Amino acid sequence: MAQLADIGVIGLGVMGAALARNFHSRGLAVTTWNREDDMSQAFAAKYGDARLTVQPTLPDFVRGLEAPRRIILMVTAGRPVDLVLEALAPHLGAEDIVVDGGNTFFRDTVRREEWCRAHGFRFVGMGISGGEEGALKGPAMMPGGDVEAWQRLRPVLEAACAQSDHGPCVDHCGSGGAGHYVKMVHNGIEYADMQIISEIWTLLAGGLGITGKAASDVFAAWNNTELRSYLVEVTALVLAVKDPQTGGPLVDQILDAAGQKGTGRWTVEQGLELGIPLPTLAAAVDARGVSSNLAARKHGSALFGGRPMGALAGLTVDDLRHAFYAARIASYSQGFQLLQAASVAHDFGANLAAVSRIWTAGCILRAALLDRLYEALLRDAKLELLHHDPNLAAALSASLPSLRKTVARAMESGYAIPCLSSALTWLDGLATGRGSAALIQAQRDCFGAHTYKRVDAPDVAVHSLWADMDKIEG
Ligand code: 6PG
């Protein structure tokens, strides 16, 4: 009889296939199943051996696993996950664990955890980040929920995940849907980081005249600075690629309409739900929306003059580097503020130092900044705003003048820089001791008797009859 497998993977798409091969490469016996038979056969022909098998049916797949079983679902988020769980349920026992490794909405994870418990097996929602290469060589993994299940999964996940200077890039993220919530926020920050990079690239080209290979070189050089990160590395790579048809940069031949699958939007929706402002993350989602409306942009360009508007005098490459860093710090600070609030609101009991540690390698966000965030959260795990950490505050203070200069020059010239500008405005708002909301409170009380509080008695709600009161002379 064939050896029983240590772990099973359902779904042999790009990520599932890579993850199955990753487990196999760590010396684990792996069995797999895929709904579409042609994909199974192609996978078996290319990678199959005695310790990496493909099963013809779901019952065969379950029988091929050592009990208690560890099964990872790598299927499209949504209905397909429910369908596989329903099909698996009759074959599983109380100690078997099914892990959903997709980009699932956290409320679906909470619902499925209950459903699986009621149907007699364990369920874990786990975010996985790193793309195909990460899944193959070591992704970052964000499991949540059932702690006993996590303890049993831990050895195989620690063997397969990325390793950073701080250890394996997997840890328990908190109870219930915490794992998928953390992955959702990872993606919200990912949207912002990508948009910030795109804005900086536009300013390098239009404002400073640095294009093509020279732009790639700037990002490559920045990858040896505080900006070191996977997304900067990828940017340097893609900007250097030549279009085989025109001989110019391939990126110049790509339609400038960004796609999205929804995780960034969910993050922003969660911010609205919990009252946590995420302007830079929201600006990134909105920017993808604006980019996709090609017809309106064409019409607008004809009506209001073509943009962007050209050279930006006095701005340097170093200004852009600092502007990028300041905006990056702001977007992480927003994302972690949401995680802090969500941990309380949803009782995750999340360990945010662990979250920042998981992200130090393997995931799309991996960056030098994550080491700084990890250090900050080790100093104070409950820190509400990461940029208030003394070291990060000092780094931000050094970069902020360049962000201000960059935003001012670029906006004056008509560049659309939603992430850079929203980051600056958010930081400025949070650094304003007395802002403009007093007038909003006065207006609300005047037209709707909503009451307000005086600065000299902040606990007492007051209502004034504004029209009847004495007015200031002169
Ligand atoms: C990751 C990525 C991954 C995927 C996003 C892209 O962490 O590995 O975030 O999950 O690239 O889903 O999302 P969009 O298609 O919405 O940009």
What separation in Å is there between the alpha carbon of 209 and the centre of ligand 1? 31
Please give the positions annotated as active site: 183, 190
CB 267 less than 6 A from any atom of ligand 1: no
pLDDT at 1: 55
CATH number of 7-172: 3.40.50.720
Work out the percent of the chain whose per-residue pLDDT is above 70: 99
CB 174 less than 6 A from any atom of ligand 1: no
Structural domain spans, the chain: 7-172, 183-429, 437-468
Q: Which residue in 106, 92, 111 sits closest to 144, CA to CA?
A: 106
pLDDT at 309: 76
pLDDT tens per residue across span 151-161? 999 999 999 99
pLDDT tens per residue across span 270-312? 999 999 999 999 999 999 999 999 999 999 999 998 776 789 9
Strand boundaries in 154-283, DSSP class E:
163-164, 167-168
Flag whether the pTM goes above 0.95: yes
Buried b (16+ CB within 10 A) or exposed e, 81-102: beebbeebeeebeeebbbbbbb
Q: Which two structure tokens, joined as six digits, stand for 343?
A: 């941990």
Q: What is the mean pLDDT of each run of 10 residues along the chain (474 residues)?
A: 89 97 98 94 96 96 97 97 98 97 98 98 98 97 98 97 98 98 98 98 97 97 98 98 97 96 97 98 98 96 83 96 98 98 98 97 98 98 97 98 98 96 98 97 98 98 98 94
Q: Give, for 143, the enclosing helix (H) or strand (E).
A: strand 140-143
Domain 437-468 fold is: 1.20.5
CB 103 less than 6 A from any atom of ligand 1: yes
Q: How many CB atoms lie within 10 A of CB 59?
A: 14
First CA to last CA distance, the chain: 98
CB 280 less than 6 A from any atom of ligand 1: no
Which of 180, 186, 263 to probe ligand 1 with, by most ligand atoms within 8 A of CB? 263
The one-letter code for the residue type at 193 is D
Which of 132, 142, 187, 359 to probe ligand 1 with, by most ligand atoms within 8 A of CB? 187
Q: Which two structure tokens, joined as six digits, stand for 48?
A: 């199959």
| Beta-bridge partner residues of 143 | 126
Quote the Cα angle for 15-171-234, to 5°.
45
Rounded Cα distance, 177 and 192, in Å: 23
pLDDT at 3: 85
Rounded Cα distance, 75 and 195, in Å: 28
Cα 136 to its chain centre, rounded Å, is 20
Is residue 11 within 8 Å of residue 125, measured between CB atoms? no
Ligand 1, atom 5, lies closest to the CA of 187
The one-letter code for the residue type at 206 is G
Q: How many CA atoms lie within 13 A of 250 on its CB side?
A: 10
3-state secondary structure of 432: coil
Q: Which residue in 378, 382, 358, 367 sits closest to 143, CA to CA?
A: 358
Cα dihedral: 237, 243, 246, 247 (round 10): 50
CB 263 less than 6 A from any atom of ligand 1: yes
pLDDT tens per residue across span 189-223? 999 999 999 999 999 999 999 999 999 999 999 99
Q: Which two structure tokens, joined as six digits, stand for 443?
A: 């207006």
Mean confidence (pLDDT) of the chain: 97
Identify the DSSP state of 198: H
Cis ω before 68 (30° cut-off from 0): yes
Regarding beta strands 122-129 and 140-143, do their DSSP bridges make them parallel or antiparallel, or are they unpaired? antiparallel
Rounded Cα distance, 340 and 356, in Å: 12
Q: Please check whether the two domains, 7-172 and 437-468, share a CATH topology.
A: no
Q: Residue 363 CA: which ligand 1 atom is closest?
A: 7
Query: Does the domain made of 183-429 have the CATH classification 1.10.1040.10?
Result: yes
Identify the DSSP state of 9: E
pLDDT tens per residue across span 334-372? 999 999 999 999 999 999 999 999 999 999 999 999 999
